[in-house]
């Protein structure tokens, strides 16, 4: 595998570990980060000066405005024949805009969806790549160093935007799997029949159809905190789940599991659900069902003394 020189912009948890994995493979990495303690150069301009033409610069910063601003600034210091790689979690439509603008200057653009998290340094990173075949070919020594050993873990998914589109769908699937594991754990924990919930999860790691790395991580979490009492049930979303559902709507593809998983995360952030307040109010109105006040006291319901007489109903409708 030929050694290459590459600039890495963004040396956080992912970018820093990726730079280290590339160095271990013999590549020359010049890193830039806003934190001077981790940066090899003081600016993107100095980064470009340190790299030999034709340059390869990999951007690994938060998606959205930070990535857009970084790519715009790099466009001012790179030259025709250079290649810019966006390895963050950018939206695939942004990739197409960046590629078009950079192409006007003769600069190539490749988008890479990266999966592997903090474990990627040792295990390798799964790479989903979008871009011109010739640009991808030039970058193969870098991709080979970053990916896991073996034939899997890398795909040239298609044209510009395909890498991030594939990663977007990957993360949407991840939402659904995580939600299923979480619901299964909650049901096991709620029953008085199953005594060993962590052991049950652990038993599934071998020989079952749901064995997976996410299951392994669930087991690890339960080994550290058997009832997860140290955590608050609040789950953020980084955007890819929303984008996946938006793309599904545009293409008229039903995604009930992924959509429900995203909505479950929204629900996790509500200490007191406004929608559930309305449901409680409606149940009280049509059926006289008891409700709880904001202070935790039961309000008047069908069985409460002095409650308004409400015609009986057979069931909620």
Show which residues are catalytic: 167, 174
Distances (CA, A) of 36 to 9, 10, 42, 56, 77: 12, 11, 7, 22, 20
Distances (CA, A) of 65 to 62, 71, 100, 246: 8, 10, 18, 20
* Distance of alpha carbon 247 from the chain centroid: 16
Tokens of 88: 């963050």
User: With the CA atoms of 60, 61, 64 and 67 taken in that order, what torsion angle do they form, in degrees rounded to the nearest 10?
Assistant: -70
Q: Are 129 and 163 in contact (CB under 8 A)?
A: yes
* Distance of alpha carbon 168 from the chain centroid: 8
3-state secondary structure of 108: strand
* Distance of alpha carbon 128 from the chain centroid: 14
Distances (CA, A) of 310 to 157, 277, 278, 305: 62, 20, 18, 13
Q: Which residues of 209-230 are buried (b: 16+ CB within 10 A; e: fewer)?
A: eeeeeebeebbeebeeeeeeee
User: With the CA atoms of 238, 243, 245 and 248 taken in that order, what torsion angle do they form, in degrees rounded to the nearest 10?
Assistant: -150
């Amino acid at each position: 595998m030929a050694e290459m020189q590459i600039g890495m912009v963004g040396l956080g948890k992912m970018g820093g570990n990726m730079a280290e994995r590339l160095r271990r493979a013999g590549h020359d990495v010049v890193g830039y980060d806003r934190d001077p303690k981790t940066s090899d150069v003081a600016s993107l301009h100095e980064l470009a000066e340190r790299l030999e033409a034709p340059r390869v610069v990999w951007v690994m910063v938060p998606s959205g405005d930070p990535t857009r601003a970084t790519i715009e600034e790099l466009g001012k210091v790179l030259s025709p024949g250079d290649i810019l790689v966006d390895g963050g979690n950018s939206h695939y439509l942004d990739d197409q805009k960046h590629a078009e603008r950079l192409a006007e200057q003769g600069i190539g653009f490749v988008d890479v969806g990266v999966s592997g998290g903090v474990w990627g340094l040792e295990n390798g990173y799964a790479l989903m790549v979008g871009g011109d075949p010739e640009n991808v070919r030039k970058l193969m020594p870098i991709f080979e160093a970053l990916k896991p050993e073996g034939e899997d873990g890398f795909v040239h998914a298609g044209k510009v935007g395909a890498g991030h589109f594939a990663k977007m769908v990957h993360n949407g699937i991840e939402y659904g799997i995580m939600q299923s594991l979480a619901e299964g754990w909650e049901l096991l924990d709620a029953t008085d029949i199953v005594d060993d919930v962590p052991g049950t999860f652990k038993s599934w790691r071998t020989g079952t159809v749901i064995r997976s790395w996410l299951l392994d991580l669930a087991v690890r979490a339960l080994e550290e905190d058997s009832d997860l009492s140290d955590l608050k049930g609040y789950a953020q979303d980084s955007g890819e789940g929303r984008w996946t559902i938006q793309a599904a709507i545009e293409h008229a593809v039903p995604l009930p599991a992924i959509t429900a998983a995203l909505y479950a995360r929204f629900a996790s952030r509500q200490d007191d659900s406004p929608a559930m307040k309305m449901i409680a109010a409606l149940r009280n109105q049509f059926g006289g069902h008891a409700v709880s006040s904001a202070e935790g006291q039961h309000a008047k319901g069908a069985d409460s003394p002095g409650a308004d007489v409400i015609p009986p109903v057979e069931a909620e409708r």
